[in-house]
């Protein structure tokens, strides 16, 4: 698996962890016992999720730039 494949897989697992943390936060708030550490728990996967998401967002431009791109891209640059 390539580096981009690993980043994509990591992004998927981080999104699952973030979803579970948000659900835990909602459950504790609905139970009437909100705690700060459950709210902070959602931030743990959120920061690397943001970084991997930004990488996946920029990947088409980065790969086009490193591969040389097509003629249309070279004319615009």
Residue 69 banded pLDDT, cuts 50, 70, 90: low
- Identify which has the larger pLDDT, 72 or 48: 48
Q: Mean pLDDT check: name the lowest of 11-15, 28-32, 53-57.
A: 28-32
Position 77 pLDDT exceeds 90: no
Note the pTM of the prediction, 2 decimals.
0.74
Which value, in Å, is the radius of gyration of the alpha carbons in the chain? 19
Average pLDDT of span 34-47: 88
**Angle at 68 (CA atoms; ends 66, 70), nearest 5 degrees:** 135
- Structure-block tokens of residue 22: 């948000």
Q: Is 29 helix (H, G, I), strand (E, B) or coil?
A: helix
Contact 22, 49 (CB under 8 A): no
Provide the mean pLDDT of the chain. Answer: 85
């Amino acid at each position: 698996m390539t580096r981009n494949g690993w980043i994509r897989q990591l992004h998927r697992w981080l999104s699952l962890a973030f979803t579970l943390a948000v659900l835990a936060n909602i459950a504790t708030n609905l139970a009437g016992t909100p705690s700060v550490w459950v709210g902070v728990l959602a931030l743990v996967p959120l920061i690397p999720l943001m970084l991997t998401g930004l990488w996946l967002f920029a990947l088409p431009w980065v790969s086009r730039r490193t591969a040389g791109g097509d003629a249309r891209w070279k004319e615009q640059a």
